[in-house]
């Protein structure tokens, strides 16, 4: 693993020149999970967890890394209003609202929920607490159309607007995880037992694209990246991940090679935001053995996929796995 040489490449120098807000707390720690490994039996691999639930603003999570780049560009463009979209429990929207509060930007969130919730989700409570203007709609299609309409109306009135796509999962946003892989490479330089797999939740595609591209650029291309989908089929996610990687390459002025994108879509269950028996069991097992809390929408399903690979022998004691915790635990809670 030639980390020091890889970090000195031209694409990495280009990355350092791209505007980025210094708002997250890095490096996020890596912890070993020995009691979880013990609970999984003698043939279980060595397990580590990367704690991106500790990134900081807006209760942390993977969206912080993306927004540091996306909102830095918004400030450079002298934007006055930021609009973005998500589900009613969206981590991305919560983090966006927190960033906008700190930056003094007006924030508009278009959130979809198929029905009015019987309680106020914690993320929605925080969106409002951060001062965001919330527009509730009933479908994913309606939220995109509503964001486009609101942005157009504001622009026609002379207001500078940044309309951020779902999850800030653009090539610019994905640079947050290219940088994260630099961070990981530095951390792993002192590890005697380096991971040969990374497992993480993959939904809006930007996190996986950044991890895959970053692995190539940071000298970690020997690590297999497994994204576990909480909602969409692999046939939908993988091409979008590849497209974002190509966009990253255009920004960094290089061609980024990658293996076929590995997306596991066997753990979705009934759909987005709906826990499965396996994800609920995974959430409880990790909490009980390690005191680590996952979230029910993303990381619990990703952990369920990892545990299934261990129990079915796809991963063994000869492997070392890093699980990337992307945050989102507030989905467990409601505000009353």
How is 322-335 classified by DSSP, letter by letter? EEEE---GGGG-EE
CB 241 within 8 A of CB 227: yes
Q: How many whole angstroms separate alpha carbon 66 and alpha carbon 62?
A: 7
Task: Give the CA radius of gyration of the chain.
Answer: 19
pLDDT at 293: 98
Q: Considering the entire predicted model, what is its pTM?
A: 0.95
| Residue where the block lists tokens 């609101």 | 150
Question: Rounded to 5, what percent of the chain is helix, strand, coil?
Answer: 45, 15, 35
pLDDT tens profile 19-47: 999 999 999 999 999 999 999 999 999 99
DSSP assigned state of 233: -
Catalytic residue, chosen from 90, 203, 275, 279, is 90
DSSP assigned state of 323: E
pLDDT in tens, the chain (336 residues): 333 344 447 898 999 999 999 999 999 999 999 999 999 999 999 999 999 999 999 999 999 999 999 999 999 999 999 999 999 999 999 999 999 999 999 999 999 987 766 789 999 999 999 999 999 999 989 999 999 999 999 999 999 999 999 999 999 999 999 999 999 999 999 999 899 999 999 999 999 999 999 999 999 999 999 999 999 999 999 999 999 999 999 999 999 988 899 999 999 999 999 999 999 999 999 999 999 999 999 999 999 999 999 999 999 999 999 999 999 999 999 875
Q: What are phi and psi of 28, to 5 degrees?
A: -70, 145
- HSE-CB at 222 with a 13 A cutoff on CA atoms is 10
CB 271 within 8 A of CB 231: yes
Domains of the chain: 3-60+170-335 (3.40.50.1100), 66-168 (3.40.50.1100)
pLDDT at 336: 58
Q: What is the dihedral of CA 272, 274, 280, 284, to 10 degrees?
A: 80
Whether 113 sits among the annotated catalytic residues: the reply is no
> Kind and range of the H or E element at 199?
strand 197-201
pLDDT at 9: 78
Name the token pair of 225. Answer: 């990246």
pLDDT at 3: 34
């Amino acid at each position: 693993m030639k980390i020091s040489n890889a970090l000195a490449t031209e694409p990495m120098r280009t990355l350092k020149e791209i505007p980025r807000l210094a708002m997250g707390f890095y490096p996020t720690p890596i912890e070993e999970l020995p009691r979880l490994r013990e609970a999984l039996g003698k043939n279980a691999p060595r397990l580590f967890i990367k704690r991106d639930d500790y990134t900081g603003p807006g209760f942390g999570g993977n969206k912080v890394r993306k927004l540091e780049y996306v909102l830095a560009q918004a400030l450079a463009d002298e934007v006055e209003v930021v609009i973005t979209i998500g589900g009613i429990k969206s981590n991305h929207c919560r983090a966006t609202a927190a960033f906008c509060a700190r930056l003094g930007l007006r924030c508009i969130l278009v959130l979809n929920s198929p029905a009015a919730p019987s309680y106020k989700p914690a993320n929605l409570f925080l969106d409002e607490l951060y001062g965001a203007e919330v527009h509730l709609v009933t479908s994913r299609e309606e939220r995109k159309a509503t964001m486009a309409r609101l942005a157009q109306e504001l622009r026609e009135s002379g207001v500078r607007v940044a309309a951020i796509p779902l999850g800030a999962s653009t090539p610019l946003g994905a640079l947050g995880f290219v940088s994260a892989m630099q961070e990981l490479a530095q951390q792993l330089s002192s590890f005697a037992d380096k991971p040969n797999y990374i497992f993480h939740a993959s939904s809006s595609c930007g996190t996986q694209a950044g991890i895959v591209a970053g692995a190539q650029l940071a000298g970690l291309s020997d690590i297999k990246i497994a994204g576990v989908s909480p909602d969409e089929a692999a046939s939908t996610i993988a091409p979008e991940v590849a497209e974002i990687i190509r966009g990253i390459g255009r920004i960094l002025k290089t061609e980024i090679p990658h293996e076929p994108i590995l997306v596991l879509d066997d753990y979705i269950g009934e759909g987005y935001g709906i826990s499965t028996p396996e994800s609920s069991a995974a959430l409880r097992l990790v909490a009980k053995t390690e005191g680590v809390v996952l979230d029910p929408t993303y990381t619990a399903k990703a952990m369920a996929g990892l545990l299934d690979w261990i129990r079915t022998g796809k991963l063994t004691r000869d492997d070392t796995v890093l699980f990337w915790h992307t945050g989102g635990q507030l989905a467990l809670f409601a505000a009353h």
